[in-house]
Structure 1
């Protein structure tokens, strides 16, 4: 793919994902939550311009830093997302202001990395950004699925109208 198409894909995916996450959304932990990140990663890894051929070590270091930032953004975004279960067992999520701060911090860090790469004279294409976005989405989705499974009981959905026996309260022993 050309650089312009990659940039358009990155912008479109980020815009759709981010705008959808700041509204309350039903979360289905059984869906293929890894599919979109996998597609983005495959598209990024197929591009020969992922690593600058003239500065392999510096470009690889910059790519590794980009991936670490992507993983951090994904984890931060997932842990700052509000998650709750309705009485009927459905799980909902909504990103918070802290999630927005995580994104803003990530954008600032990525801009700093881009500036460092420009100072070093590295060719920086969109595949690295696409791979980092894939890492961000993969980590975020994985952490949310993990958090969702911790919310729902192992033997099925939550009772709809308070059915079932009440759990005894835990008491501290002195």
Structure 2
């Protein structure tokens, strides 16, 4: 089961890279920044089932690691103005960071799966991912609004 979920994680990472590359070709909007964590939040329903519940200490560990990982995503997500529109700037570092995080995640899953129940480990990785995406998207929203407000003052022409 650990190998199947790891293969699924690899497919999801590839999909995230493709989506990120396509996203940089279209203008950004508040909705495009906010919706992914909202959609992901429905995954918290997994905690209705006891098999996925984690102890407070494991919750703290997962959230802390997620917050640390979010720093890398925040640092590599920037915007640029093109044709009077705001776009996400492509970053070569983003792909390497995403792959690095995936390798760390798979290694941690293989190591921890021998000592932590698979359901509880799944809950921890959901918390890690959610704690990573929320600050990243909040940061993106703040950068986007700052740029948008600055551009509307200058009518997008001087940037």
Same-fold call, TM cutoff 0.5: yes
Structure 1: gaps (5+ residues): 1-5, 163-174
Larger-Rg structure: 1
2:118 maps to 124
2:52 to 50, 53, 58: 50
Give yes or no for the alignment of 1:134 onto 2:130: yes
Name the structure with the higher helix share. Answer: 2
Give the Cα separation in 1 of the matches to 2:79 and 2:146.
Answer: 11
Give yes or no for the alignment of 1:34 onto 2:52: no
Of 95-104 and 30-39, more deviation after overlay is shown by 30-39
How far off its partner does 1:92 sit?
0.6
Cα deviation digits, residues 67-118 of structure 1 (max 9, x gap): 3333333331132134211352x21113422112222332233234324422
Q: Which runs of 4+ in 1 moved over 4 A?
A: 6-16
CA-based RMSD: 3.4
Cα deviation digits, residues 47-82 of structure 1 (max 9, x gap): 322236xxx4xxx44443333333333331132134
Give yes or no for the alignment of 1:86 onto 2:108: no
- TM-score normalized with structure 1 length: 0.63
